[in-house]
Structure 1
Amino acid sequence: MIILTTLGRCLLGTLLALMAVVQVIQADERPSVPKMVFAHYMVCCPAAGLAATVEDFEREIRTARANGIDGFALNVPGWSREPHYFDLSRRIFRAAERSKLAFKLFMSFDNAPVDDSATMVDELSQSPAYLRIDGRPVVSTYSGTPEWGTRLAERLLASGRRPFLVPNYQYPSEHFWARNYGHPTAQFLDDLYRAHPELDGYFVFGPDLGYPKPPSDGALVAARSRVAAKISMIGIMPYYRGLRGNFRLFESGGFQGMAAQWIAAIESGADWVEIVTWNDWGESTYVAPYGDTAQQNLWNFNWGPLLSHEAFLKASRYYIDWFTSSNRPAIRQPSLFYFYRLHPKSAYGIASPDTGEQGRPKGSDDLVDGVYVTAFLPRPLTVELIADERRQSVTLAEGVHHHRFELAKGRLVIRVNDHERTITEKQLEFPVTNLGQIGNFNYFAGEVPLP
């Protein structure tokens, strides 16, 4: 038994008090970062191809910035075996510098070797376009493990660079039996932050599409990161449909699922949002425009027939402004977006563009056939969906509204009425048929211009 003297008890009390003060200071040391919205950029797949020029990338950057996006997270798996990843990344950085816009870039490594990753950060972080927090280059990941981050931090510290680490570690360790935490738990996050103080935050990738049940991953990451005095970055995804061996999908209810994810990020007090993705054509999570809205070919149909998702990006602008300003925007100009698959869920699509193998993706039974509209209205308007002689109509009040019309085959027309007066009418780009190969279980996203 240890008997404390009066002096010992005083010293112990002082020590405990100091420890409490240190804990408070540490809790107050949470980095102060501006609210920002990024887009996950697949360096493998520029819209202009692997020969994309600095000018091509600058056009993409200008488009992203015009839609409220603050920067790109450049996804690369490494470069030593495929040097084009480094070459393309250099061009993207030159484009950002040349644009002279307030647009930042940072690396998001996709199971890349530590040596490759350190070399890229060492060189590219010297660019004025590289995102830095308190002078430290931001580094993120898709998946990976804490051991990778520790080794990377050690390598970069040796060259005088301390990374600002906001990774998406889906595994707690490199052990082959480690459980995947693509959907993190509170215990996983608490243990991760406790065991790895070099982390500055956490990025949750997805998919947590918010339809029909509300998304929950982002709010959990934001809450546990705040407790640990770390920052949170929340992935927001428009839709998901994979190809080849990953021929599966998740319903998003048109734009309704993406809107639910935005609301969750806003209400949770997340620090950053990352739209996942800008240009992952193969998994249909892209929001980037790549040509005329009716164009379906990209890279000679390398990913099969594509459908425009630009309206996912445009409809997000309301939420981007809300998130970055922390104030809900007033709606002064009406806007109307629509989202639909070109065929019913019973159709057969193309599982593999390489072989032409046909089938129905995993999860297709859970789809909800419909033509979805999302409206941002400063006054009530009536929206009609017309297919041949069939008419469906809904009157939407002032505000933000999501509505599903029943899917009807044939040519589709959307007509908008202000009381009894038609103010606009548009025939949609594609008819609805039984041919799943044309739309291939993807969403087409479009806009009806409103006066």
Structure 2
Amino acid sequence: MMGNSYAMNVASFRGDINMALGAGIDGFALNVGPDAWMADRVNQMYAAAQGTPFKLFISLDMAVMADQSISGLTHWITDFAQHPNQYFYQNKQFVSTFAGESVTFGQGSANAGWSNFKNTLAGMGNPIYFVPSFTALGASAAMGMSSNDGAFSWDAWPTSNNAMSTASDNAYMSARNGKTYMAGVSPWFYTHFSYKNWIYKSDDLFTTRWEQVVAMQPDFLEIITWNDYGESSYIGPLNADFPYDSTLNSRQWCTGHEHTAWLELSSYYIQAYKNAAYPAITQNKLFWWYRTHSKDATATSDPYGKPTNWDSSADNIFLTVMLTGSATVTVTSGGSSQTFTGTAGLNKFQYKNFQTGTPSVQIDMGGRTVLNAQGPQPIVSNPTIYNWNPVAASSSF
């Protein structure tokens, strides 16, 4: 989200790029909007990538640029066409969007409008490979538009109280007809502003969704997101700007709620996706996450109330444990412990019905304790504001 990058520079962008490369991520989709300062930050991002194998491409945020003309958008493409870190696919500059399925650029339809956009760029010597997120249209219509070389689905979360389904993905995959499909993977969704205040059921979504995508093997995969703090879906560091409204700043639900453990966990699944086979586990690792208050808690000073769909979440502590051998995993919350038996490989556990206090995890292997880990934040009984954004942590042992 380049909209959150106002305070960043080449050095901080390079730090993000190095973190992403370390996890096996190949590039960033740069979500851009109409702010006058943003082109400078995008230039700095491209400068930061130079000298690395990391690729970049533009994703036009048409939710906030629907009033732009074609000539007002083409510079985002042409300015970086010659950059060595620009991502190309089939010898064409890769371009995506967030939304835009109703944008016509003065033509009779969105298909005609986006075709004109592509033709204009081709006429300037910049042919593009266009994979927009026209998710609102559905798979068949999005894939059926002649303007589109593929489709990116924003359906990375369950929108009901049910578990994440691959029905939407399957529809896109079936409708490709020679085009490409870019699937989305996301760890979480929670936003708490005056104009949007809801969650999507996210508890153990990240591992579930990763396993779905590894099995499906879509043409492309986009992790949603690196730094969208306002929607709590970030896996990168808390080092950029936080969206806000007139009353709340998302800093209030992000500070102390690190998610980089999810970036580290992603590395395992990225290898599995790229190789169509899960890698051998050669190091013991714990990944765990939890919310910092019960869904039934009452906030003392929240201006907006509980988010829509709040009751779909479980008051559980979620653990993914990579083991090279057998282990006993003991999770303690509020003085109450639950014990799980782990085996060599990847194990997923849930501590049911967490309690107030700082939780902890003890892992024993071969008759000795190999890890004692304290949670990064306590679980409180009465938060100041509602916060469905979890904390995530990791340990190697």
TM-score range, shorter chain: 0.7 to 0.9
Whether 2:316 is the aligned partner of 1:370: answer yes
The answer as to 2:96 corresponding to 1:156 is no
Deviation by residue 1:423-448 (Cα, 9 ceiling, x = unmatched): 11012121111133367111111113
SS in 1 for 2:42: helix
Contact 2:4 2:243 in 1 (8 A): no
Matches within 5 A, 1:8-407: 42-46=1-5, 50-78=6-34, 82-97=35-50, 100-111=51-62, 112=65, 113=68, 114-145=70-101, 146-147=110-111, 148-170=113-135, 180-181=136-137, 184-185=138-139, 187-189=140-142, 192-193=143-144, 196-209=145-158, 212-216=162-166, 217-225=168-176, 228-244=177-193, 245-253=195-203, 256-290=204-238, 302-303=249-250, 304-306=252-254, 307-348=257-298, 357-406=303-352, 407=354
The alpha carbon displacement at 1:419 in A equals 4.1
Change (3 A) 1:388 1:153: closer
| Residue 389 of structure 1, CA deviation | 3.3
Q: Deviations over 1:394-449 (max 9, x none)?
A: 11122222111021211222111114311110121211111333671111111133
- SS in structure 2 of the partner of residue 248 of structure 1: strand
Once residues 73 and 315 of structure 1 are traced to their aligned partners in structure 2, the CA distance between those partners, rounded to angstroms, is 20
Change (3 A) 1:102 1:348: farther
Q: What's the RMSD between the two structures over aligned residues?
A: 2.3
The offset of 1:290, in angstroms, is 2.1
2:376 pairs with 1:425: no
Q: Which letter maps to 1:268?
A: M
Aligned to 1:327, the other structure's residue is in SS state: coil
Amino acid at match of 2:120: R
**Alpha-carbon distance in 1 for matches of 2:119, 2:128:** 10
Shift of 1:198: 3.6
**Aligned equivalents of 1:62 and 1:439: distance in 2?**
34
CA–CA distance in 2 between the matches of 1:188 and 1:231?
14
1:372 & 1:328 partners in 2: Cα distance? 21
Cα distance in structure 2, aligned partners of 1:123 and 1:265: 33
Q: Please list every run of 5 or more consecutive structure 2 residues that lacks an aligned counterpart in the other structure.
A: 102-109
Change (3 A) 1:209 1:64: farther
The answer to whether the 8 A contact 2:157-2:200 is kept is: no
Q: Which residue of 1 aligns with 2:107?
A: none
Deviation at 1:188, TM superposition (A): 2.8
Q: Check the 8 A contact 1:93/1:129 in 2, yes or no.
A: yes
Over 3 Å counting, the alpha-carbon distance change for 1:394 and 1:167 in structure 2 is same
Give, in angstroms, the shift of residue 75 of structure 1: 0.4
* Aligned mates of 2:267, 2:344 — CA distance in 1: 18
The structure-2 alpha-carbon separation of the partners of 1:299 and 1:155, relative to structure 1 and needing over 3 Å to count, comes to closer
* Alpha-carbon distance, 1:250 to partner: 1.4
Is this contact kept in 2: 1:168–1:204, CA < 8 A? yes
Q: CA deviation at 1:251?
A: 2.0
TM-score (norm 1): 0.78
Work out the CA distance in 2 between the residues paired with 1:68 and 1:44: 24
**Code of the aligned partner of 1:73:** A
Native 8 Å contact 2:330 2:363 kept in 1? yes
1:109-143, Cα deviation, whole Å (9 max, x unpaired)? 01132323211101112211110123211010011
What is residue 104 of structure 2 aligned with on the other side?
none
Whole-Å separation in 1 of the counterparts to 2:32 and 2:152: 16
1:207 match: secondary structure: coil
Separation in 2, partners of 1:142, 1:358: 27
The sequence identity of aligned pairs, in percent, is: 25
**Native 8 Å contact 2:292 2:391 kept in 1:** yes
> How many Å separate the matches in 1 of 2:186 and 2:339?
29
- Post-superposition CA distance 1:195-248 (Å, at most 9, x none): x334211101123349852421223322322xx101111111110001212110
SS at match of 1:436: coil
8 Å contact kept, 2:283–2:396: no
**Residue 430 of structure 1: SS of its match in structure 2?**
coil
Change (3 A) 1:209 1:63: farther
User: Is the CA contact 2:130–2:147 (under 8 Å) kept in the aligned structure 1?
Assistant: yes
Question: Structure 1 residue 108: deviation in Å?
Answer: 0.4
Distance in 2, matches of 1:63 and 1:122, equals: 28
Between the two proteins, the alignment pairs up a number of residues equal to: 373
Q: Look up the equivalent residue of 2:338 and give its one-letter code.
A: Q
Q: Give the partner amino acid of 1:283.
A: E
C-alpha contact (below 8 Å) 2:300/2:382 kept by paired residues:
no
CA distance in 2, matches of 1:365, 1:197: 42
TM-score of the aligned structures, taking structure 2 as reference length? 0.88
